Amino acid sequence: MTTHTPPRLALVMTLASVMAALTLTAPARADDDPSVPPGTEPSASAPVEVDPNDPDLKLPEGATLAEPKVLDIKQVVEDQSGDERREDTNADVKFALQAEVLFGKDSSKLNGEAKARISAIAAEIKNQKATQIRVFGFTDNLGSAAHGDVLSKQRANAVQDVLDQELNDPNITFEVRGYGEQYPIASNATETSRKKNRRVEVSFPRGES
């Protein structure tokens, strides 16, 4: 007796074959998600241990638990102008200040309102009792990469100088870097998006709650 594959199943099998072929032959592309500088990846603590033999778990016969993994919960607050952004995870606090609210165009000299903004960040560092601070500078992709590297480091240094004065704590260590046009958080396709990329980020571990 000859059996025939139902049309619906045949269609599913055909689509699966096409998708598999596309998976094998499609060219690689860059990830659309924003990248982060080395050393700033989420570092959540280990999850609660789960007993795979617990009778209440009710795993299907033959099934096993996957490796445990913690997903960082991120809360993002940005002011209406977009000039300042705060990100909180279970491990870290990060402030991002757009360069325009701190410096003049193509300058690393802090303007009049910069100190107040940096002082507010220093107050939060004290509140969290953090002793390891990262200050990273970034630019857009206009101009040469070499110029962007230098300018972003000079701007990071300027912010770090104010933080150091405000905190006045010999136990605090700083990591200060200028990444230039690396690690954009927007596309650089428009001036609005480039403005987001011109920034200084200050990050530090959260205190014990």
pLDDT at 65 over 80: no
pLDDT at 1 over 80: no
pLDDT at 10 over 50: no
Coil, helix or strand at residue 5: coil
User: What would the mean pLDDT of 127-135 be, rounded to a whole number?
Assistant: 96
Q: What are phi and psi of 162, to 5 degrees?
A: -70, -40
pLDDT at 38: 78
Rounded Cα gap, residues 133 and 114, in angstroms: 18
- Residues 70/47, Cβ–Cβ less than 8 Å: yes
pLDDT at 46 over 80: no
pLDDT at 18: 38
One-letter amino acid for residue 37 of the chain: P
One-letter amino acid for residue 133 of the chain: I
Question: Tokens 């040469």 map to which residue?
Answer: 144
